[in-house]
Amino acid sequence: MKRLALPLLSGLLLSGCTLGPDFKTPEPPKVSTYAAKGDAVAPGDQRVALGKAIEGNWWAGFRAPALDDTIRQALAGNLDIDEARNRMAEAEEQVNVAEGALLPQVSFGTTAGYQKYGKSLFGPFNVSIPPFAYYTVGPTATFPLDLFGGQRRTVEEQQAFLEYQHHELDAAYQSLTAHVAVEALALAAARAEIDIVQAIIAEDQRNVDLVQQAITAGSGTRVQLVSAQSQLAQDRALLPDLRQNEAVARHALAILAGKAPAEWSPPDFALTDFTLPEELPVSLPSELVHRRPDIQAAEAQLHAASAAIGVATANLYPNISLSGTATLQALTPGGLFNSVNNAWSIAGNLTQPIFDGGRLSAQKRAAVDNYQAQLASYRRTIIGAFGDVADRLQALANDADRLKAQQAAAETAAQSLDLARKSYQAGNSGILDVIDAERRYAQAELGLSRAKTQRLMDTAELYLAVGNGTMASDPAH
């Protein structure tokens, strides 16, 4: 019997096949640049290095040691990173589960029972067997042949899900580092604007004092005093919102670091801590599909959907497995150790779907439809990624123009305020002219601070858009 079983088993294994499509990554759009003709792609005095890879940690270009330390703490404590790591570990175990199903399954069992047969079991022989105890012990082995590759496709599907979780971890890493930088800049911006407004408030108070002195000297009016006090009150009203912005940024950084706001506070970032990177490495479109984790995650989902078609196809075909048992059977426990009580069996099991109400065919069609949906999602993700990069490059170009305009506005407003003060002191103009000049100067200073901040933030967003590294490349892990 063994001489017949071994060739039969070998033949079945060799004749097995893997049904369903073999996955191949779709070709990305054949474009060589991100922007449409006529769009700005060079952000002013920043140089775009198209096709150059980011070297080291992308945030090092800001030359802010406090940012380096904060990102390091966030990477160590962030809960999104922790969740993504555990999701990936779970996916690894699911691969092990699927691979284990391809191997022989061996179990060991024992049975102890007490049984009584009825007389009718033996028909006309009218035999009566008294109740008896029985015992069995021995292993059972099953071997799934997977002739049509359904289980192998299941392994492939689980491996694709593992790849997806790996890219989700990279996405969490990239998102975290970018959001820490943005929130650090938001904190620095809020503090800078608070300093500007406090300086303006001090000037407002100086104007109120000057008007009161003029009233005492007989040259000022009540209207002038009310105007000066009104401006002082309006500028003081700016502070609560700015302090709220500062608090929100502090709290956000604490949460990104995996801490409650009461447990941890970030450094007191200042805009002067950050240097605008002069060179911006930007991946070519053909490279971006291999750098953006959302694109790679979408590709992994597409791969899993392709493998699911193979699983559904294999389910339409027979399922064959071999099993064997070797047991010792006896009516007493001591008899189990007698070789004459050995028993064994070898069996082959074949299950062929005949009628299932169209369920299996519908499952295959659903798998194909899901693949087409995932394909559309994959292509949409690529196009969206190209759009993200184009948006960020255009934003940086506009940021450079905005910053230049704000610098000119601030310089002009400062000159106008200086002339207004000198004219007031010389008695050639009233306090209302000084107040109006201060209002324009305050707006220009706040606008300049916000323009600087927005340019730094859009730089961080560009690094995120082009794919700014992976967890594996981070030296702290």
* Among candidate residues 156, 148, 105, 155, the one with its CA nearest the CA of residue 353: 148
Q: 108: Cβ–Cβ under 8 A, 6 or more apart, which residues?
A: 138, 139, 140
Per-residue pLDDT tens digits for 399-450: 999 999 999 999 999 999 999 989 988 888 887 888 888 889 988 999 999 9
User: What is the per-residue pLDDT for 37?
Assistant: 64
> CB of 212 within 8 A of CB of 232?
no
Cα(448)–Cα(407) distance, rounded to whole angstroms? 6
Instruction: Flag whether pLDDT at 8 surpasses 70.
Output: no
Q: Which stretch of DSSP H or E encloses residue 230?
A: helix 222-236
* Window from 87-101, 111-125, 368-382 with minimum mean pLDDT: 111-125
268-282 burial: b if 16+ Cβ within 10 Å, else e: ebebebbebbeebbb
Residue 340: Cβ-neighbour burial (10 angstroms; 0-12, 13-18, 19+)? exposed
80-110 burial: b if 16+ Cβ within 10 Å, else e: bbeebeebbeebbebbeebeeeeeeeeeeee
> CB of 115 within 8 A of CB of 134?
yes
CATH of 105-145+319-351, one of 3.10.50.40, 3.30.465.10, 2.60.40.10, 2.20.200.10: 2.20.200.10
User: What is the per-residue pLDDT for 26?
Assistant: 92
User: What is the per-residue pLDDT for 40?
Assistant: 53
Strands (DSSP E) found in 36-80:
47-50
User: What is the per-residue pLDDT for 32?
Assistant: 82
In this prediction, residues 373-396 reach a mean pLDDT of 94
Instruction: Flag whether pLDDT at 171 surpasses 80.
Output: yes
* Window from 15-24, 158-167, 203-212 with minimum mean pLDDT: 15-24
Instruction: Flag whether pLDDT at 159 surpasses 60.
Output: yes
Tokens 């979780």 sit on residue: 165
Most confident of 37-41, 276-280, 330-334: 276-280
Tokens 């967890």 sit on residue: 471
Instruction: Flag whether pLDDT at 393 surpasses 60.
Output: yes
Residue 360: Cβ-neighbour burial (10 angstroms; 0-12, 13-18, 19+)? middle
Backbone angles phi, psi at 42, to 5 degrees: -105, 115
CATH superfamily assigned to domain 19-102+148-317+359-473: Outer membrane efflux proteins (OEP) (1.20.1600.10)
How much of the chain exceeds pLDDT 90, in percent?
A: 53
User: What is the per-residue pLDDT for 9?
Assistant: 46
* Encoded tokens for 208: 């109120």
User: What is the per-residue pLDDT for 310?
Assistant: 94
Per-residue pLDDT tens digits for 13-45: 444 688 989 999 998 888 888 876 655 555 667
Task: Count CA atoms within 13 Å of residue 430 on its CB side.
Answer: 11
Q: How far is CA 377 from the centre of its chain?
A: 16
> CB of 470 within 8 A of CB of 297?
no
- Residue boundaries of the structural domains of the chain: 19-102+148-317+359-473, 105-145+319-351
Most confident of 76-85, 123-132, 223-232, 426-435: 76-85
User: What is the per-residue pLDDT for 4?
Assistant: 40
Q: Do domains 19-102+148-317+359-473 and 105-145+319-351 have the same CATH topology?
A: no
User: What is the per-residue pLDDT for 6?
Assistant: 43
Q: 367: Cβ–Cβ under 8 A, 6 or more apart, which residues?
A: 305, 308, 309, 311, 312
Cα(50)–Cα(359) distance, rounded to whole angstroms? 52
User: What is the per-residue pLDDT for 41?
Assistant: 58
Instruction: Flag whether pLDDT at 455 surpasses 50.
Output: yes
To 5 degrees, how large is the angle CA 256–CA 262–CA 263?
65
User: What is the per-residue pLDDT for 429?
Assistant: 83
User: What is the per-residue pLDDT for 7?
Assistant: 45
Confidence of residue 122 (pLDDT cuts 50, 70, 90): low
- How far apart, in Å, are the Cα atoms of 399 and each of 118, 196, 404, 457? 94, 21, 9, 10
Q: 125: Cβ–Cβ under 8 A, 6 or more apart, which residues?
A: none
Q: Count how many residues are written for the chain.
A: 477
* Window from 66-75, 344-353, 442-451 with minimum mean pLDDT: 344-353
* Among candidate residues 121, 137, 245, the one with its CA nearest the CA of residue 190: 245
In this prediction, residues 68-92 reach a mean pLDDT of 95
Cα(96)–Cα(90) distance, rounded to whole angstroms? 10
Q: 262: Cβ–Cβ under 8 A, 6 or more apart, which residues?
A: none
> CB of 186 within 8 A of CB of 242?
no
Can you tell me whether residue 142 is helix, strand or coil? strand
Instruction: Flag whether pLDDT at 55 surpasses 90.
Output: no
In this prediction, residues 392-396 reach a mean pLDDT of 91
Cα(416)–Cα(443) distance, rounded to whole angstroms? 13
Q: Give 388 or 347, the one with higher predicted confidence.
A: 388
Cα(405)–Cα(87) distance, rounded to whole angstroms? 48
In this prediction, residues 254-280 reach a mean pLDDT of 94
* Window from 18-32, 205-219, 339-353, 355-369 with minimum mean pLDDT: 339-353
Q: Give me the residues paired with residue 324 across strands.
A: 141, 346
State how beta strands 47-50 and 279-282 pair: parallel
Task: Count CA atoms within 13 Å of residue 474 on its CB side.
Answer: 22
User: What is the per-residue pLDDT for 239?
Assistant: 95
| Cβ count within 10 A of residue 143 | 18
Residue type, 176: L
To 5 degrees, how large is the angle CA 129–CA 133–CA 135?
130
Average pLDDT, the chain: 87
